[in-house]
Amino acid sequence: MARIDDLRKIATRLRIHSLRMTTAAGSGHPTTCLSAADLAACLFFGEMRWNPKDPHDPANDEFVLSKGHAAPLLWAVYAEAGVIPLQSLLDLRKITSVLEGHPTPRMPWVKAATGSLGQGLSVGAGMALAQRLDKSPARTFVLLGDGECAEGQVWEAAAAASYWKLRNLVAVVDVNRLGQSDPTMHQHDLQALRRKFAAFGWDAVVVDGHKIDRILAALAGAGKAGKPTAVLARTLKGKGVSFIADKNGWHGKPLKADELARALEELGCLPEVDAKRFIHKPRPFRKTKAVAAPDFPRTAYKEKTATRLAYGNALLSLAKADPAVVAIDGDVKNSTYADKFFEAFPARTFQSFIAEQNMVGVGIGLAAKGYVPFMATFAAFLTRAHDQVRMAAYSFANIKLCGSHVGVSIGEDGPSQMGLEDLAMFRAVPECVVLYPSDAVSAEAAVATAAAHKGMVYIRTTRPATPVLYAAGEVFPVGGSKVLGKRDGDQATIVAAGITVHEALKARAELEKTGVRVRVIDAYSVAPLDAATLGREIAETGGRAVVVEDHFAGGGLGEAVAAALAGKAALKHLCVRELPRSGKPDELLEMYGISASHIVRAVRELVAG
Amino acid sequence: MARIDDLRKIATRLRIHSLRMTTAAGSGHPTTCLSAADLAACLFFGEMRWNPKDPHDPANDEFVLSKGHAAPLLWAVYAEAGVIPLQSLLDLRKITSVLEGHPTPRMPWVKAATGSLGQGLSVGAGMALAQRLDKSPARTFVLLGDGECAEGQVWEAAAAASYWKLRNLVAVVDVNRLGQSDPTMHQHDLQALRRKFAAFGWDAVVVDGHKIDRILAALAGAGKAGKPTAVLARTLKGKGVSFIADKNGWHGKPLKADELARALEELGCLPEVDAKRFIHKPRPFRKTKAVAAPDFPRTAYKEKTATRLAYGNALLSLAKADPAVVAIDGDVKNSTYADKFFEAFPARTFQSFIAEQNMVGVGIGLAAKGYVPFMATFAAFLTRAHDQVRMAAYSFANIKLCGSHVGVSIGEDGPSQMGLEDLAMFRAVPECVVLYPSDAVSAEAAVATAAAHKGMVYIRTTRPATPVLYAAGEVFPVGGSKVLGKRDGDQATIVAAGITVHEALKARAELEKTGVRVRVIDAYSVAPLDAATLGREIAETGGRAVVVEDHFAGGGLGEAVAAALAGKAALKHLCVRELPRSGKPDELLEMYGISASHIVRAVRELVAG
């Protein structure tokens, strides 16, 4: 069969490219490219339908290289497909090249950055969901390594994909038996892996990953069982080169020049074959363009309302206005109030159960396909997805995260449920916008702002109800702040956000009684911080400021202000400095030093000088 | 059978206590206590062997309440066992009580904080490993909910426990069908859950979780198959009270006073039974006390050495000196250099494969049993275990973490592999010591310091080799810093750590040529920071300082210094401010503004300024 022979030739070309590229770069992971070369050839030039002229053609089958360290193989595929010049492969890992060590969307065919293992299946599930929402016939293929199947997120994704009946999702696992430092848990016991995927509700088949006909047959059967399909391919790491094949100790090592020469001798010269001819064009498919209203109507909040409730209300309003908005839940939607959206729009909302890593990964996938995913859980539990948030940043993903139940103000549920490190986590992400509303009006505005902003946005919401501070028309631009009750002669500035704005206002009233005048800044945009306003207002109040936040000391609002004003103000920083415990919200604010009475004391000390 | 009847009575008492406690507290999760009451009665008063007089008796079977929101049930168990007074139960969730909303080790019988779901099985696996190391006949029991089985970490732990052949580990899953906001993925399809545990190598049995005799029989069979055992118990959330049993919408809701009255009517009066009589005393077992040398011999490093390599060498030296030291790996030990320990002491080192959440959870379990676990992976991948690190803090766990491959200085592998947020993550943990050595000598010292310090320690190591700065005898206390090359008339201070100390020293030499004198501070103790020395030295240099770090802006060394010196110095902060890319280490230090040339420029601006 000519086709099988051609695919074999393409695979050999991919192997040769991968070896040459990594030797030229002086680093990289050639052996993991060699194990997967036949799989890649069969996927891109055998099974998948895609238009090499347009990475954003909605008719394209999508591909996620979950085993991101096989990046050279992926670049080789695109070179063979005519997407990038062959000679550009030798720029691998150069600072001037988009062919990075692990894939990032700087290369336009990459929809999500990979390289932190075990994340690709969630991203693929998100893309497959998007394709289903689009009513597209296209599918999503994810290439995993066997080593990364030790990551729990793979099983979160597997469970969700099965629950969501994603028959348009295909996982191909390159079971090359060898991890980085040790053989993998199951080595070549492919049945062990098959049992796991089957138990998680997948159609799982085992094939020889170096037999083109077997791979093609397995791929051709994908989805036939009405389930997501896992093709578990027995391969050899370093396949095709005798002295590295199936040998431990060759992870992440390029061949030296003489080794490369020997390897190329074994592989023979670059076989003549035009891979481009083998790409299956997709059936034309146009996505129905969803038209979004420019904004949604605002609520005239009057009564004390929790910002988390206002978030939920606003999310529903936004969802009505913009059909591209979707949501994923980690089984807390009745606490984050995302449930309103879920009830109104079951088709655009997805229950990921208690699996925050998968929730964020699925969001990255949906965002890559043009949807605007909102994901909310307790801020404390977003730490579970820190690595996924990190990779979302490298994916330049347009995702929106909401962390509810922040700080000691949640009260009796205790420290495990308190988000006290979330500002540090999101402030460390370059370009991530961090919004921390103090009342229902600003919470509603935060949702609108998040939707309008292109890129990652984090919204921090509070459990208890808080008084309404702003009129319904108030605007809250990214990078702004609100100066509350400013007068000439103010002696200090209190910088607060969220729940502490209300403590600061109480403190202000208390101080007023003894003739101490202060102004309060609601720093609702924690990142980017409104450094200009803070600098000006604090300078006007004698360079004296108290920053108060319901967050640990490291990486929160206090340090943001300190860094922004370095050298220009005397700051006192009130925050949670020890590991808190269960108690009533007011008791905890008091015990951990962030209540009105502590603010009063701090201002008095500053003013006294 | 009298015993079965007695256990049924105990279970009823546990139900009544749980309802009363949560109603008195006005919050909490009574229904999840009711579903698990029969299981808890059978565990603590039927199967487990434990000495209620001593939580630290090494003969005790250990228990982990992975479904931490069932805390009232656990407190009720200890009250029934005579460990705490019955009347103390009504103090649930009070700020003065150790009976918190979710378990923390403030209550001495709790060995690890729970409440972030899906973490307990890893902790239990760590305890079971410790029991095996101790050569103890004791076992570890973990009570999970079905909802949390959606968390990938459960499957990481399941895979590891099976790989480690932990027949002394028993998971009991309370399959009550209802999550917080929705029914669970599998509801009462217990066979679906059984297939998963079986596929992950466990002996998995399904029982009726409200039939005492069936539960006891299943528990009695645990471990007989030579594998870890999962008892999957079909239960009803709210079991025993008709109007809440098996009803959605009752998660995290205490009964109102009138509802409680109706519930107590259904349950009948508190049955007369002395639960204490049913506790099985353990067979006496004394743990052989391991004797540790006071310290380990230091290395006289001369040649350029990567701090990660020095970490690995030191870990091996420490392991030779202290038999309580153990290690867990995430399949990167040949990169973190923990492999030296693994090769020398296979019995005290554990391969957790690519599963960082489980790695940290197992470490918490080992630490709870008196071992000193060291866990190393790429700093970037420790973000995967952020939630576990958070829970380790609330567990007051004596664990040691090392993050290697930090910053853009790793070079060509690209952003997914660069630890650029780890300082923010660990600095936000109250009381966590963060050490960031710049050379092999300080890296070796960091390992000794970490071992000697009681509590969580994070060590940040660098990929490339760096010159040796210190003599072998140098000491590096927690909270200290090193002032390098200080002279009168210095015009500015450069604060650096790790790789940037070397850039700072290059900058110093460069500046010297043009007559600008600076001193360099090696802030190796990032937390706690040596604020006194920094303040003094910077004041001596005219209040001018440049802080330079291979880390993102938020939450790192720069903000730590800004916060420590708020208002007392003019700071310039050089750090990685955008999402980096692949390239050579030196090119990247230059591109992202943290190389010697950038430091020189920043100092010149400050001095001119």
Is the pLDDT reported for residue B1 higher than 60?
no
Q: How far is Cα A559 from Cα A563, in angstroms, rounded to an integer?
A: 6
Count the neighbouring beta carbons within 10 Å of the beta carbon of residue A462.
Answer: 30
- Whole-angstrom CA distances from B520 to A451, A480, B148 are 45, 37, 50
Which tokens belong to A484? 């509350």
CB proximity under 8 Å: A 56-95 to B:
68, 93-95
Beta bridge partners of A495: A521, A547
Contacts of B152 in chain A (CB under 8 A): 151-156, 355, 357-358
Q: How far is Cα B572 from Cα A415, in angstroms, rounded to an integer?
A: 36
Question: Which candidate, A382, A417, A416, places its Cα nearest to that of A400?
Answer: A382
Which tens digit of pLDDT belongs to each residue from B113-127?
999 999 999 999 999
Which tens digit of pLDDT belongs to each residue from B423-438?
999 999 999 999 999 9
Q: In terms of C-beta density within 10 A (0-12 exposed, 13-18 middle, 19 or more buried), how is residue B221 classed?
A: middle
Q: How far is Cα A61 from Cα A291, in angstroms, rounded to an integer?
A: 24
The backbone region for A105, taken as left when phi is positive above 0, alpha when psi lies in -120 to 50, beta otherwise, is alpha
Measured on CA atoms in the order B480, B482, B487, B492, is the torsion positive or negative? Answer: negative
CB proximity under 8 Å: B 200-219 to A:
200-201
Residue A288 confidence (pLDDT): 87
pLDDT band at B566 (very low <50, low <70, confident <90, very high): confident
Residue B537 confidence (pLDDT): 97
The DSSP secondary-structure symbol of A45 reads I
Q: In terms of C-beta density within 10 A (0-12 exposed, 13-18 middle, 19 or more buried), how is residue A51 classed?
A: middle
Q: How far is Cα A100 from Cα B590, in angstroms, rounded to an integer?
A: 18
* Residue from the list A159, A428, A584 with its beta carbon closest to the beta carbon of B552: A428
Q: How far is Cα A354 from Cα A382, in angstroms, rounded to an integer?
A: 11
Q: For B546, name the nearest residue in chain A, comparing CA atoms only.
A: A566
Q: What is the mean pLDDT of chain B?
A: 97
Residue B294 confidence (pLDDT): 85
Residue B573 confidence (pLDDT): 97
Q: For A391, name the nearest residue in chain B, comparing CA atoms only.
A: B416
CB proximity under 8 Å: A 365-404 to B:
380-381, 383-384, 386-387, 389-391, 393-394, 396
Q: How far is Cα B161 from Cα B358, in angstroms, rounded to an integer?
A: 10
Say yes or no: A544 contacts chain B, CB-CB below 8 A.
no
Is the pLDDT reported for residue A268 higher than 60?
yes
Beta-carbon contacts of residue B505 (< 8 Å; ≥ 6 apart):
B484, B485, B520
What is the CA A413 to chain-centroid distance, rounded? 28
* Residue from the list A353, A386, A566 with its beta carbon closest to the beta carbon of B386: A386
B66, B119 Cβ separation under 8 angstroms:
yes
Is the pLDDT reported for residue B567 higher than 80?
no
* Residue from the list A118, A558, A567 with its beta carbon closest to the beta carbon of B354: A118
A73, A33 Cβ separation under 8 angstroms:
yes
Asked which of A474-478, B290-294, B500-504 is least confident by mean pLDDT, the reply is B290-294
Is the pLDDT reported for residue A124 higher than 70?
yes
Q: How far is Cα B450 from Cα B373, in angstroms, rounded to an integer?
A: 11
Which tens digit of pLDDT belongs to each residue from A55-70?
999 999 999 999 999 9
Is the pLDDT reported for residue A569 higher than 90?
no
Of B356, B421, B503, B559, the active-site residue reads B356
Which tens digit of pLDDT belongs to each residue from A433-461?
999 999 999 999 999 999 999 999 999 99
Say yes or no: A48 contacts chain B, CB-CB below 8 A.
no
Q: In terms of C-beta density within 10 A (0-12 exposed, 13-18 middle, 19 or more buried), how is residue A217 classed?
A: middle
Whether ipTM tops 0.90, in short, is yes
Is the pLDDT reported for residue B523 higher than 70?
yes
The backbone region for A432, taken as left when phi is positive above 0, alpha when psi lies in -120 to 50, beta otherwise, is beta
Residue B385 confidence (pLDDT): 98
**Is residue B151 among the annotated active site residues?**
no
CB proximity under 8 Å: A 122-181 to B:
147-148, 150-156, 159, 163, 179-181
Is the pLDDT reported for residue A309 higher than 60?
yes
Q: How far is Cα B228 from Cα B493, in angstroms, rounded to an integer?
A: 57
pLDDT band at A1 (very low <50, low <70, confident <90, very high): low
Q: What is the mean pLDDT of chain A?
A: 97
SS3 string of A505-531?
A: HHHHHHHHHCCCCEEEEECCEEECCCH
Contact B333 A181 (CB under 8 A): yes
Contact B354 A150 (CB under 8 A): yes
SS3 string of A234-271?
A: ECCCCCCCCCCCCCCCCCCCCCCHHHHHHHHHHHCCCC
* Cα pseudo-dihedral B483, B486, B488, B493, rounded to 10: -60
Of A80, A100, A356, A537, the active-site residue reads A356
Min Cα separation B273/chain A (Å): 31
Contacts of A394 in chain B (CB under 8 A): 415-416, 579
Average pLDDT over residues B517-534: 98
Distance in angstroms between the alpha carbons of the first and the last residue of chain B: 88
B127, B398 Cβ separation under 8 angstroms:
no
Contacts of B420 in chain A (CB under 8 A): 428
Helix (H/G/I), strand (E/B), else coil: A406: strand
Q: How far is Cα B379 from Cα B384, in angstroms, rounded to an integer?
A: 10
- Whether the model pTM is above 0.90: yes
What is the CA angle A383-A389-A390, rounded to 5?
110
Average pLDDT over residues A154-162: 98
Residue A2 confidence (pLDDT): 63
What percent of chain B clears pLDDT 90, i.e. is strictly above it?
97
Cis previous bond, B464, omega within 30: no
Min Cα separation B280/chain A (Å): 32
What is the CA B221 to chain-centroid distance, rounded? 31
Contacts of A335 in chain B (CB under 8 A): 180-181
Q: How far is Cα B507 from Cα B515, in angstroms, rounded to an integer?
A: 12
Exposure b/e, B338-356, CB count within 10 A at least 16 = b = bbbbbeebeebbbbbbbbb
Beta strand residue intervals within B224-344, DSSP E? 229-234, 305-306, 325-329
Is the pLDDT reported for residue B330 higher than 70?
yes
Which tokens belong to A499? 């729940």
pLDDT band at B155 (very low <50, low <70, confident <90, very high): very high
Rg from Cα positions in chain A: 27
Average pLDDT over residues B232-248: 97
* Residue from the list B163, B332, B573 with its beta carbon closest to the beta carbon of A181: B332
Say yes or no: B331 contacts chain A, CB-CB below 8 A.
yes
How would DSSP label each residue in A184-239? -SSTT-HHHHHHHHHHTT-EEEEEETT-HHHHHHHHHTTTTTSS-EEEEEE--TTT
Say yes or no: A8 contacts chain B, CB-CB below 8 A.
no
B546, B501 Cβ separation under 8 angstroms:
no
B341, B316 Cβ separation under 8 angstroms:
yes
Q: For B186, name the nearest residue in chain A, comparing CA atoms only.
A: A163
SS3 string of A329-375?
A: ECCCHHHHCCHHHHHHCHHHEEECCCCHHHHHHHHHHHHHCCCEEEE
Distance in angstroms between the alpha carbons of the first and the last residue of chain A: 88
Q: How far is Cα A586 from Cα A300, in angstroms, rounded to an integer?
A: 28
